[in-house]
């Protein structure tokens, strides 16, 4: 970085931005000495301007590289998600919402180094991924509940409570992801749209878990209705 209009060199300008202040000796060196010129000689100013131009050009190139990297990732991830979902449909593997949310989580994990909010988004996505595993266990218990147990005692209340808890926590994660997306200053429209698609998939899964938990809690069974459980 070059001159900032006050004769301040790049290093000192950085120090100011970081909260430190140059001492008196540095101040004297900053503003020129010997010839009484506050801003130094014309040659010094010219060098500063040239360095400023070079640094600005370098920053623009880095920003362009990051933009291209984001676009490449978004395009590739979007194609992969579509291909995977087509495969799931053809092979009739499991629940389409579960499969889609897994892909959404992995897509957001891959965005970690591509945006200013990437690390925060990836952290939330990891928590969501752990929640998926916990919810799978509760869903498995519900599906394995025998017909006799369900008829007599109703649904699996323990599994229902676990699903309800996971759904509530995931709803908070969806809200955090939305906030992060709204705060992303270096995201272009394509990246924002991509992130929003993944958040929507997570919201759908959260709604599904919540509905499943409520239905399981409502299933009281014969004895459950008799004793008012």
Mean pLDDT by 10 residues, the chain (229 residues): 42 34 33 38 55 71 83 87 76 70 91 87 93 91 83 84 95 96 88 94 95 88 61
| Sign, Cα dihedral of 99, 104, 105, 107 | positive
Question: How long a stretch of residues is the chain?
Answer: 229
Cα(100)–Cα(153) distance, rounded to whole angstroms? 33
- pTM comes to 0.66
pLDDT of residue 51: 60
pLDDT of residue 212: 93
Q: Which residue in the block uniquely carries the two structure tokens 């990051």?
A: 66
Residue pair 85/100 in contact (Cβ under 8 Å)? The answer is yes
DSSP conformational letter for 5: S
pLDDT of residue 9: 39
The beta strand positions in the chain, using DSSP E, are none
User: What would you report as the CA-atom Rg of the chain, rounded to the nearest whole angstrom?
Assistant: 29
pLDDT of residue 22: 33
pLDDT of residue 52: 57
Paired tokens of 208:
């599904």
pLDDT of residue 214: 93
Residue pair 30/16 in contact (Cβ under 8 Å)? The answer is no
Residue pair 206/171 in contact (Cβ under 8 Å)? The answer is yes
Paired tokens of 194:
């991509």
Q: Which residue in the block uniquely carries the two structure tokens 């994660």?
A: 173
pLDDT of residue 15: 34
Helix or strand holding residue 129 (H, E): helix 118-144
pLDDT of residue 208: 94
Burial of 58 (0-12, 13-18, 19+ CB in 10 A): exposed
């Amino acid at each position: 970085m070059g001159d900032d209009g006050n004769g301040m060199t790049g290093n000192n300008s950085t120090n100011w931005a970081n909260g430190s202040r140059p001492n008196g000796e540095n101040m004297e060196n900053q503003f020129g000495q010997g010839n009484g010129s506050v801003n130094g000689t014309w040659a010094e100013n010219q060098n500063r301007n040239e360095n400023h131009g070079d640094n600005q050009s370098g920053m623009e190139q880095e920003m362009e590289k990051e933009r291209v990297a984001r676009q490449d990732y978004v395009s590739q991830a979007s194609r992969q998600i579509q291909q995977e979902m087509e495969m799931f449909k053809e092979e009739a593997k499991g629940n389409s919402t579960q499969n889609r949310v897994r892909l959404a989580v992995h897509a957001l994990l891959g965005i970690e180094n591509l945006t200013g909010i990437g690390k925060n988004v990836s952290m939330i996505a990891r928590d969501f991924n752990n929640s998926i595993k916990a919810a799978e266990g509760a869903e498995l218990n519900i599906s394995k509940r025998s017909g006799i147990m369900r008829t007599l005692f109703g649904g699996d209340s323990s599994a229902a409570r676990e699903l309800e808890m996971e759904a509530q926590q995931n709803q908070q994660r969806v809200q955090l992801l939305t906030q992060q997306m709204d705060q992303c200053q270096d995201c272009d429209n394509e990246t924002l749209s991509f992130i929003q698609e993944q958040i929507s998939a997570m919201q759908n899964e959260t709604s599904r878990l919540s509905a499943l938990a409520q239905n399981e809690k409502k299933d009281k069974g014969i004895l459950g209705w008799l004793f008012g459980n």
